Structure 1
Amino acid sequence: MQDVTDLEFWRLMARYGGADVYYTEYFRVHADSHLDKPILASLIHNPTGKPAIAQMIGNDIPSLVRNAKELQQYNIAAVDLNLGCPAPIVYKKCAGGGLLRDVPRIEGILGALREAISIKFTVKTRLGFDDTETIDALVPLFAKHGVDLVTIHGRTVLQM
């Protein structure tokens, strides 16, 4: 969760038993973006001894590919594509859950990322934007493009 699962949260969780794997807050990806230093610190200074997954959000294929390649230079277990963020400020930019309104674009992103990612590739999604049928179109695409793990929120973006 953005602005929650930061490095200090990881430290706190590890102190009280921890988790089996840790996801970063999402790296906002667009044509002018760079890896966010505070989020990157979670990967560089991972205090947990557990695998970390770097999460990205965006819709620009070349930028997502660039960031995925950069992230793989760090000690991460996987790169995760966020297709589930329900925040209006995100989905109105056709990112996160907003991409669920454009399945063909998602397929292009999945194909490009699978080609660029040599480690595990995961996706976080919802059932759809405003309906629950979108997931029926997505699951075959996840399989087609070799997504290694899918996390599904059992509701739509508009249901938050």
Structure 2
Amino acid sequence: MHRPIYDVAGCDDGVPKDDNLYLQQAFESLFLKYKVDVVVAGHRHYYERQLPIANSSVVLDGVSDDYKVYDNPQAPVYILTGAAGNVENLRDAPDGTAPWNAAFDYSHFGFSTLEANRTMLSWKYFASSDLSVQDEFVMFKNDSSL
């Protein structure tokens, strides 16, 4: 989707507001019903990765302590990857925080890669300037959860 449901700038203390709220009302129940694993959005010109979220609450079942391994997560992981660059440059870091924010990069242009098969998804976010990995995670789904 173009606009994110969950990003720090579009939420107050982790609860969507304004456009984010409208998107949450329209789509989140479908994402949960159909067991969507990852929702990728852009719109904002930086990078954020959220923990699995359902109805504005973190769902930590199957999430490792370092937030880098998701084993049969019970809600979607939301990723905002809008740092590839544009004429407006990068945006300033948003004010505030959110309890579901796992990783962010507000200072680099960057790009993301995704590798997947039926039971595994691997995500990496790279800084364009030196190709260093700024964030990464892996998700596993066993056949009974598919």
Q: Give TM class, smaller chain.
A: 0.3 to 0.5
Bigger helix fraction: 1
* TM-score relative to the length of structure 1: 0.33
Bigger strand fraction: 2
* TM-score relative to the length of structure 2: 0.35
Q: Higher relative contact order by CA 8 Å / sep ≥ 6: 1 or 2?
A: 2
